[in-house]
Amino acid sequence: MCFNILYSIFNCLLDYYGPQGWWPVYSLRLSGGRDKRGYLPNPSDYSRRNIIAGLSSRDVFEIAVGAVLTQNTSWKNVEKALENLESAGLLDCRAVMDASATALADAVRPSGYYNQKAKKLKVLARFFSERGNPDNGNPPSREDLLELWGVGKETADSILLYAYGLPFFVVDAYTKRMFKRLGILTGDEEYDEIAAAFTSALGEDPGLFNEYHALIVRHGREHCRKKPLCKGCVLRMNNLCSF
């Protein structure tokens, strides 16, 4: 995997869609530093410091919660669940630990798999509570996260990248599908193999990883769907994809 082609794809998507400003943080939507959807208003500089600047321990917890809730689920449904959690006072580590399983499941119902996800949030809350505040200056190790029931590689990497600004490339279904169609992946690669290939080609740049993953998701939703919508695909128009 070479830097040039990956960077051409990135630039093409960035030119077309613009900066995505991930990760949206619900608790900051109505306060300074974010727009009303919780996105960074001017996400042009994605240094690690900027990614994690202004993230409170509560925000870090919220990003971890969002990473679990979005498992196999559209973000729109996750937002509803996050709103329910917020209005029930459950976007808080301690509160999740104290909440009943029913109350939690009820709040996260719109995101689907609500019984499973309620359990996962309990596990997450216990983890953060035991290691002190989910402070973004004190990141957990990937191994620690992977030991948690309900946290797999994509979820762990999302937390490390988006909550802690660490250079972990997030590989999801969109990444595999899109780069297979681009002829860069065969489709048989393991998660860690793909992540390592991106990391060694692009360099350990959390800002770039952040924006790249967000753009992949955007393009995957709008064009590179399971049933591809090649008409109007910017990668195709720029001769980067011949699928």
Contacts to DNA by CB under 7 A: 22-24, 66-67, 70-77, 80, 109-110, 112-117, 148-156, 158, 162, 172-174, 217, 220-221, 225-227
| Min dist. Cβ of residue 213 to DNA (A) | 8
Cβ closest to DNA, residue 227 vs residue 231:
227
Cβ closest to DNA, residue 4 vs residue 227:
227
| Min dist. Cβ of residue 157 to DNA (A) | 8
Cβ closest to DNA, residue 3 vs residue 196:
196
| Min dist. Cβ of residue 115 to DNA (A) | 3
| Tokens encoding 186 | 């065969």
What gap in Å lies between CA 220 and CA 173, rounded to an integer? 9
SS3 content of the chain, % helix, strand, coil (to 5): 60, 0, 40
Cβ closest to DNA, residue 3 vs residue 172:
172
Cβ closest to DNA, residue 21 vs residue 139:
21
| Min dist. Cβ of residue 4 to DNA (A) | 26
Mutual angle of helices 114-130 and 57-69, in 10-degree steps: 150
Per this entry, what is the length of the chain? 243
Cβ partners under 8 Å of residue 10, min gap 6: 208, 211, 212, 215
Phi, psi angles (nearest 5°) of residue 185: -115, 155
Cα-based distances in Å from 185 to 87, 170, 171, 198: 43, 15, 12, 11
Residue with tokens 């329910």: 84
| Min dist. Cβ of residue 105 to DNA (A) | 7
